[in-house]
A and B are shown apart, each in its own frame.
Chain A
Amino acid sequence: MAKTYVSATINGESAEFLCETQQTLLDVLRDVIGLTGSKEGCGSGDCGACSVIVDDRLVCSCLMLGVEAEGKSITTIEGIANGDTLHPIQQKFLEYAALQCGFCTPGLIVATKALLDENPNPTETEARYWLAGNLCRCTGYDKVIRAVMDVAADMRGEKVA
């Protein structure tokens, strides 16, 4: 089957790839490009493990086709840290033990990034509802929310007690 040529920006770098028309963006990222940080927890838009940011919008990459990435800018978990320096969100997830098995973690971190890009000062309820599409079976969410509220305050330059 003829593959389609796609040119996009992935984590700030231009990327060109060939993909089958029925391949999801998630499969392209994982299998074609080798960025396996985005996870497939369901393949049906229900779990958020595949979350990526496409042109400033939070997207389930399992629900988007690879060919739809043409001309778009995509941020995956691999693009969140600055080289070896963790992003403050990643740092706070670590400090708050907001992860166990880690399978949901890339999606949660990307979704948190999208939240704080859009709303740097979320209430706890806003954060919980924004992240309600990211299922985590291990942590019970509590520490995730603590981490998110704390990093939001940090990124606003506030000190939390």
Chain B
Amino acid sequence: MAMIGQPLDRIDGRAKVTGAAKYAAEFRVPNAVHAVLVQSTIAAGSITGFDLKEASDMPGVLAIITPNNAGKLTHPENVPQAVAGPLLQNKDILFNGQHVALVVAETLEQAQSAASAVRLTYTRGEAATSMDAMLGQAYPPKHFRNGARPPDTSRGNADESFATGAVKMDATYVTPIEHHNPMEPHATIAAWDGDRVTVWTATQGISGVQSTLAGQFGIDKANVRAICPYVGAGFGSKGNTWPPATLAALAARTVRRPVKLVLSRSQMYTSNGYRPRTVQKLKIAAAADGALLSMRHDGFSSMSRPSLGEFAEPVALATEMLYACPNVAVTHRLVALNAALPTYMRAPGEASGVYALESAMDEMAVALKMDPIAFRLKNYAETDPHENKPFASKALRACYEQGARAFGWEKRSAEPRSMRDGNILIGWGFATSTYPTNRMPSAVKIRMEKDARVVLQCGTQDIGTGTYTVMTQVAADTLGIPMHHIRFELGDSNMPPGPVSGGSMTVASVSPSVQAACRALLDKIKDRAVAQPGWGGQSRDGLQLRDGQVVGIGQQISLATLLEHGPIEAEAKTQPGDEKKEFSMHAFGAQFAEVRVDPDLGEIRVSRYVGAFDGGNILNAKTARSQLIGGITYGIGMALHEETLVDQETGRIVNTNVAEYLMPVNADVPDIQTIIVPNDDKNSNPLGVKGIGELPMVGVAAAIANAVYHATGVRVRKVPIRIEDVL
């Protein structure tokens, strides 16, 4: 029976339900000491001095590392991941909560006490803390999409055609700063041995850790080993190699002992990126029959000071691609603030951008008096209207149909406030979801041991998404041997490299190499068989591996006998081909939300949810569904809960904890129905997968915002939607 597609239990599940799984902070490294970060309390200026007397006299303190004494990094900026600090290399203060010192002590408690006794003096500079006040000074990103495309694009003439529309909308949508808040805080243990360093670190990309540390410390990549078998999730916050990992290594080199640095939850708010705030201006015009004539999407996203790096939220890319509209213009701008550097967060670009786009499309449908789905179908793009290419595959129509049927959409009455349950207002909202299909190169090593068990290795990560399990399934099918004879290992940079676990691309990137490595192994097994005495003349390609036997014409030999000559090893590398040139590659989905709003109290509850997704081939229905439900829940958070609040006076984040940074809890989440729309996208990659990590969260906030409008008649153009917005 084929393992691919089965709803199998997670291979890593047992370790996780028993508490045996080891996360970065949990490795026992002999002689390790503890480091605690000290962070700035002003948003702009420079450090004029430190008073370390009290702190350094405290028990157990081994070192206090400040910009005055920190070891110099070879290439603080010249690292692959565009995070240039703060690394204690200078005394400039660019945001509130910036790392300014690192205290190392024998125990965690000693380091914490001493960290609280570190005193600094500053000269204060002028801080820009309000994005709205700075919108006029927005500037185009310099490295938009790493230079792969310009920040502004257009087709036709969006502005002229806008004037000719029978129905128009022109509105601004705002999304807040959000923090990933993976449940595992960042943690690194760093240990040097001469000029070689080993880090156990919570990361979505061990290869990135390896090259970043090598660059920063000016050592050979081979001298950096990054280990990360389990990650307590990341959602983008562990995609880059952020300063704490580097600082742990710096501290370990300073005190000449292994150093463990675990961020507090509060420090996580200024240490490892966040989803930037966006202000998005949408202008859409359509003919009276609903045909789109013009779309304009101008996106502004908040940034740090440019010297810390660059991240631009690519909010308007879906707008170019999603609808067959002849005239489209999109722009992307940055607004520099005294804030930490933002970064990718689950469904970067699309989560924020599709919220605005699909809210605007709902406003258009209302203005046109069209059913929101009918309006989308009227403008359905059969081919990518921006790149003028066919889609690698697109089952969006089926997502609309199957989602609508499961939700009971045809029973919706269009008028706002027209559906009630007693006093409670009921609203039904809909939105489209989409996320690009990505793939990167990867390499896999495989070895069949003498007992015919197989070990595969790839320096990829399992951030909770099921990599261990899914790759074992792929290997089992390709080799034709049971899963429990196979072990897939990951999370060690000594293994052949895999890509960062982000952009929903792990399965698409790594599984082709798993397949290729398995095939290479099979070939070697067969080579060994035909080299046996008496097998002369048989061609390798005619052989089969069946029930532990290599079977040829009139001959067979057991694997066990073949393996008496020693284990068999193979390695394979795969990379994307020309598919991106030929096809436009995207996953799609349809999101349906029901909300219940108390008209007197304004309380909004999501009471029912249906999401239908074309994520390409689904390799494991169980882990996939878990991802889909988790993604929708993340979207519920965006719609109704999550917002990082910055005090405009001090530039300080005020809700740096998971009690006041509201996230969905168990009692907030309704019954969620997910529909996997069958598709197999072999145009995109050999396994036909599209990736489902980000897709399920895209459009959720719009579906809920549209449902809130339908329930209340109030159009809220920002998230999270709060009680006071609908009263």
A residues touching B (Cβ–Cβ < 8 Å)?
1, 20, 22-23, 27, 30-31, 34-44, 46-47, 49, 76-78, 80-81, 86, 90, 93-95, 97-106, 109, 125, 127-129, 131-145
Contacts and interface: CB of A to CB of B under 8 A. Distances in A.
A111 B453 CA distance: 38
Interface stretch (B176-184, B213-221, B485-493): B176-184
A100 to B, nearest CB: 3
A78 B17 CA distance: 9
Contacts of B464: 99-102, 138
A138 B464 CA distance: 8
A36 B182 contact: no
5 contacts: A30-B26, A44-B659, A97-B9, A137-B630, A140-B626
Name the residue among A39, A80, A131 with the largest chain B CB count within 10 angstroms.
Answer: A39
Contacts of A38: 19
Interface stretch (B152-160, B227-235, B250-258, B711-719): B227-235
B227 to A, nearest CB: 16
B540 interface: no
A38 B26 CA distance: 11
B108 interface: yes
Nearest to A104: B183
Contacts of B665: 132-133, 135, 141
B680 to A, nearest CB: 23
A31 B184 CA distance: 17
B363 to A, nearest CB: 29
B17 A103 contact: no
A46 B659 contact: yes
Most B Cβ at <10 Å: residue of A35, A37, A76:
A37
B13 interface: yes
A43 B666 contact: no
B139 to A, nearest CB: 33
Leading 4 A-B pairs by shortest Cβ distance: A37-B19, A101-B464, A102-B16, A103-B232
B233 A36 contact: no
Given A36-B26, A100-B626, A136 B10 contact: no
Contacts of B59: 1
A135 B464 CA distance: 15
B109 A20 contact: yes
A103 B182 contact: yes
Given A30-B26, A140-B630, A101 B108 contact: no
B335 to A, nearest CB: 28
Contacts of A41: 183-185, 232, 265, 658
Contacts of A43: 264-265
A interface majority secondary structure = loop
Interface in B652-680: 657-659, 663-667, 669, 671-672
B422 to A, nearest CB: 19
Contact of A39 (B10, B184, B622, B667): B184
B146 interface: no
B183 A141 contact: no
Contact of A103 (B23, B108, B629, B632): B23
B463 interface: yes
A92 B614 CA distance: 28
B278 interface: no
B625 interface: yes
B465 interface: yes
Given A40-B185, A44-B657, A77-B19, A94 B13 contact: yes
B631 to A, nearest CB: 8
B28 interface: yes
B18 interface: yes
A137 B233 contact: yes
A133 B183 CA distance: 13
Nearest to A92: B17
Interface in B617-639: 622-623, 625-627, 629-634
Contacts of A139: 626, 629-630, 633
Given A37-B20, A97-B622, A135 B465 contact: no
B629 A101 contact: no
Q: B14, B19, B21: which has the most chain A beta carbons within 10 Å?
A: B19
A1 to B, nearest CB: 6
Contact of B18 (A1, A31, A90, A145): A90
B107 interface: yes
B658 A47 contact: yes
Nearest to A148: B666
A97 B184 contact: no
A137 B183 CA distance: 6
Interface residues of B, number: 61
Contact of A101 (B264, B463, B669): B463
A19 B243 CA distance: 32
Contacts of B265: 41-44, 46-47
Nearest to B637: A137
Contact of B669 (A23, A37, A140): A140
Nearest to A76: B19
Given A102-B230, A128-B666, A34 B28 contact: yes
Contacts of B180: 137
A99 B16 contact: yes
A135 B14 contact: no
B22 interface: yes
Given A20-B107, A135-B663, A99 B622 contact: no
A101 B231 contact: yes
B598 interface: no
Contacts of A133: 665
Contacts of B371: none
Given A37-B18, A43-B264, A102-B232, A131 B181 contact: no
Interface-central residue, A34, A78, A100, by most chain B CB under 10 Å: A100
A82 to B, nearest CB: 11
In the complex, which of the residues B22, B25, B233, B623 has the most CB atoms of chain A within 10 Å of its own CB atom?
B233
Nearest to B462: A101
A109 B658 contact: no
Nearest to A103: B232
Interface string B251-272: 0000000000010110000000
A86 B16 CA distance: 12
Nearest to A20: B109
Given A101-B464, A132-B665, A39 B232 contact: yes
Given A44-B657, A137-B233, A142-B671, A77 B632 contact: no
Contacts of A105: 16-17
B630 A100 contact: yes
A99 B10 contact: yes
B12 interface: yes
Contacts of B14: 86, 94
Contacts of A76: 19
B231 A134 contact: no
A140 to B, nearest CB: 3
Given A94-B10, A109-B17, A101 B233 contact: yes
Contacts of B21: 102
Interface string B4-38: 00000110111111111111011010000000000
Given A137-B180, A144-B666, 20 more contacts: A1-B59, A38-B19, A41-B183, A41-B184, A46-B265, A90-B17, A93-B13, A99-B10, A99-B17, A101-B184, A102-B12, A103-B184, A132-B666, A136-B183, A137-B183, A138-B626, A138-B630, A140-B633, A140-B664, A141-B669
A143 B231 CA distance: 20
A76 to B, nearest CB: 7
Contact of B22 (A22, A36, A104, A142): A36
B10 A27 contact: no
B627 A35 contact: no
A42 B230 contact: no
Contacts of A37: 18-20
